[in-house]
Every structure is written in structure tokens, then in C-alpha cells.
Amino acid sequence: MIFIVDLLLMLIDLTYSILNAIIQTFLQPRLKCIDGELCLITGAGGALGRLFALEFAKEGARLVLWDCDAAANEQTAELARELGAQVHTFTVDLSKRQSIYEAAGRVREEVGEISILVNNAGVVAGRRLLECPDELLERTLLVNCHALFWMTKAFLPQMKVKNRGHIVTVASALGLFSTACVEDYCASKFGAVGFHESLTHELVAEGHVDIKTTLVCPYIVDTGMFAGCEIRRELRSLIPPLDPLYTVQQSMKAILTEQQMICIPRLMYIPYLARALLPWDANVATYRFMGGDKCMLPFIKNAELKTSNSHIKSS
């Protein structure tokens, strides 16, 4: 009898969730106010991190900006201050756990408790697996995936005490489906997606319903990180690299409406579902048709040329 009641309740929740999602697609949902909230953004010196900082500044949030590049981080801070934001900068190496914990301690002592955490930082080796130094492979996993654990352990406890907060994970479409020659990046982003989803389930199971989570999975963003990457020529106009500002604005809309997950563009839901529903060979055939199986080769060639040129200049 209990099983039947639970089954009926589950079906009611399932129906409500689907109908609510459909309604929210067509209606303009109300945006939550984050004025005065303390928001920490990692990778704030990069293209997406800088845009996130400026968008949060426009919403009235106080900012804590982390990056390993102190100069770039300070440039972001100055732009945010011009918008009237209160900004604190910290130089942090996310590949080092102790660096994260030490910086987190300083934030708590000097600034206060974080209420919005945006895990945005990301790197890629840009080498074929067998030609890539182990240190570069490890760095990708450390920054893109392992750092999520240490960041969450540093800032989630106080969110749980207050039962409020928001954790944002900027992953990638390549955390939902993979492509060739970027094993380090795909592995790290699959790990980021798995971590984020498991954490979300844990928070719900524990009753921390006011600690929100948002998973952001964009297609390739035109920041230069994957310069040269391209799919089949006839399809490039259909799925062009994303404009960074558009990507961040769509992400902000998802964050401020407390949306649990967003793929940018929505077209990315198709290969995500296809990967789960179609046979492996069918997915391979689709990738080949789109040029997805070789799309990273120009990017890797560009990365190799940059490395070669830097060696020549340094010598």
C-alpha cells in the first residue's frame, strides 16, 4: 500500500515538473534579487569570468574574484568597480588544493561568507593524448574537476548552516557527449557534470532546498580557448561558436531563475539525448557526418604551432 501511494505521488510530481517546465519555456519567469549578495567567481581574469563578473555587478552583487593571473584579475575588478560593485581580488592556483583552502580562509576572514559560488575556471591541454606531458593532463583534471570538490568543501558548510546559497558549475557540452582528441577536457567536464548532479541530489535528499544549483553546458564559446575547432563547413552557420556575452547572459538568466541546468544553445540537447538513446555506431555515423570526429584537429595544430613558436622565441 505504501509503495502504491509513493508511486502515485511520484507520478504527480513527475507530471507537475514536466508541465511546469513547459510553462516556464513560454513564460518570462521572475528573476531573483541578488543585490548585496557575496559572489565568488573563479577564472575571473578570463573572457567568460570577466563577463560573469560584470553581469553580477550589474545585479548589485558584491564580488570576490579568483584567478591565477593577478593582472588580468585586477583588470576585471576595475571594470566591475566602474559599475559600482564592491570587489575583492585573490590570486589563486586552482590546481593546488592548499592554495584553494588558504584563499577560502582569507575570504571568510577578510570579506565574509560566500552566498553565490560560480565555478567558472577551465583549461585544456590542446595536445593529443600520447603526445601530451602528464603534467598538462593532470592540470586539466585538477582545475576543471578536482577544484570543484575543494571549492565546495570550503564554502558549502556555511551555506548549509544558513540553508541558503547558490552553486554554479560552468561545465561544457563536452561534459554531456564527447569528441576525439580532447580526452583530458572531456574527462574533466564529464567529471564536473557528475559531481554537480550528485551534489544536487545530496542537497535535496538532506532537505537543503534553499541551496540552489545551476549546471551550465555551453557549446564551444568563441574565447580563443578552442581556436581553430570547426565542424563540417555546410553546418557551421547552423552551429557557430557561441558569442561569449550571449553565453554569459543566457547563463545568468538560468541562475537568476534558479534553473537547474541549461544547454547553450538548446540544440545541444539533441546530441545529449542521442548519445543516451542511439546505438554507439549510430552516434559515430552522426559525428562523422557533422565532422565532429575531426573537429578538434585544427585546434590541436594551432596549439602545437603556438607551443613551437614560444620555444623558438625563448631560445
Which residues are known catalytic residues? 185
Report d(CA 127, CA 117) in Å as an integer. 30
Are the C-beta atoms of 74 and 89 separated by less than 8 Å? Answer: yes
User: How would you label 210-225 residue by residue, b for 16+ Cβ within 10 Å and e otherwise?
Assistant: ebbbbbbbbbbbebeb
For residue 254, count other CB atoms closer than 10 A to its CB: 20
Q: Which residues pair with 152 in a beta bridge?
A: none
| H or E element that contains 46 | none
Output 301-305 pairs: Cβ under 8 A, ≥24 positions apart.
301/228, 302/126, 302/227, 302/228, 303/126, 303/127, 304/126, 304/127
